Homo-oligomer: A and B are copies of this chain.
Amino acid sequence: MLDFATQSTASHGLAHRTLHRQDVMKALAAKAPVCSGQKILPPNTALWNEGDERTHVFIVKSGALCFSRMLPDGRRIVLGFAYPDDTIGLDSDIRHCDAHAMQTTRLIAIPISAYNRAVNEDPDFQRQATAAMSDALNEAYRHVVVISKLSAPERLASFLVALSERNQAHGLSPLSVVLPMKRLDIADFLGLTIETVSRTFTQFKAVGLIAMDQSNIVIFKNIQKLRALAAGEGTDV
């Protein structure tokens, strides 16, 4: 059986935002008050840029972030998103993508020195961080599968289902989601264009898979079908 189709739980998107296992978060939260600060980012401002040295690890408290890379000719690739409760920036000493706030975003900033101290003091902590990175890798593989083989409807379904599951894991309703990102972000995340994303939303509405009252609120009408699509079961829209 294929675990990548069924094991998706709280997370979607790539590693930067999936490093949020409960245990890691708790450990970090415990350390956080000691020498950390709060940071508030207005919409469309950078948290870091590709190539920057890592100075902090962050815990998202509210808002939403977007991780992306640029090709020399301007093509943009969104690697993932981060939402409240996600811990981000664990994965490397050098940022290997840009990070920016998509809306006003509140973060706890933990200096890397404090983070390293915590890691050195507690081997369990280190192991947990490793486990979180392992999750992140698995997540990255899932995304590779999504963008290398799935059709546009399948990709969008995969995206929406992941958001639904994330809601559920956070005690919210899995039957509707609020999209904090624009169509362009979704398109760049799924390897599509805004037009294709828009048309696919329209198609989903037309066949009764979802309903939308605003362009950023999705109500699931047939989550089973969406799951089947997302899993690549070959069924048509």
Contact = CB atoms under 8 A, between A and B. Distances in A.
Given A3-B94, A97-B141, A141-B14, A71 B149 contact: yes
Contacts of A123: 120, 123, 126
How many copies of this chain?
Answer: 2
A147 interface: yes
A231 interface: yes
A133 interface: yes
Interface string A77-92: 1010000000000011
A145 interface: yes
A88 to B, nearest CB: 13
18 contacts: A14-B141, A14-B144, A15-B137, A15-B140, A71-B145, A72-B232, A72-B233, A73-B232, A75-B232, A77-B145, A79-B141, A96-B138, A96-B141, A120-B123, A133-B137, A140-B140, A140-B144, A148-B190
A228 to B, nearest CB: 9
A147 B123 CA distance: 37
A50 interface: yes
A92 to B, nearest CB: 4
Interface residues of A, number: 49
A157 interface: no
Interface string A124-144: 001101100110111011011
A5 interface: yes
